Amino acid sequence: MAGEENPASALIDGRIKELGGWRGETLAKVREIVRSADPEIIEEWKWETPVWSRGGIICTGEAYKKAVKLTFPKGASLDDPMGLFNSSLEGKVRRAIDIHEGGKIDEAALADLIRAAVALNLEGKKKP
């Protein structure tokens, strides 16, 4: 249909607007980085949260009072040479990035991490 938009994208737009301030700006910036890292990533809305997927979940974008959190469900299996993961480090499977007010986002490193998560998901899909 002409003008058809992903309903999840509209919900994410609404969440960004609802948050406003630094959290809305941060979530919008993260979304921009995720979408530009791989144009085939799909936006979804699960658990009242933005979710980005390709071959499986890449990451979620959660907003809390003092942080915007990107949770990578398979983060423990990803190389993180720039040390972006700063939360959920004790887990055996997932890892997260907490971005606090005034925090800087290393856009290139985050895009690399997203592409690595996509590659890991797609690699898993190829196995019998």
pLDDT at 127: 54
Q: Residue 85: inside a domain, yes or no?
A: yes
Report the C-alpha gap between 61 and 43 in whole angstroms. Answer: 11
Domain with 35 in it: 7-126
pLDDT at 124: 76
Q: Residue 47: inside a domain, yes or no?
A: yes
Q: Residue 103: inside a domain, yes or no?
A: yes
Q: Residue 87: inside a domain, yes or no?
A: yes
Contact indicator for 118, 72 with CB cutoff of 8 Å: no
Average pLDDT along the chain, 128 residues, taken 10 residues at a time:
70 96 98 97 96 98 97 97 95 96 97 98 74
Provide the domain count of the chain. 1
Q: Residue 28: inside a domain, yes or no?
A: yes
Q: Residue 2: inside a domain, yes or no?
A: no
Per the rule left: phi > 0, alpha: psi between -120 and 50, beta: everything else, 47 is left
Q: Residue 1: inside a domain, yes or no?
A: no
Per the rule left: phi > 0, alpha: psi between -120 and 50, beta: everything else, 55 is left
Contact indicator for 30, 41 with CB cutoff of 8 Å: no
Q: Residue 114: inside a domain, yes or no?
A: yes
- Residue 103: give its domain's CATH number: 3.90.1150.200
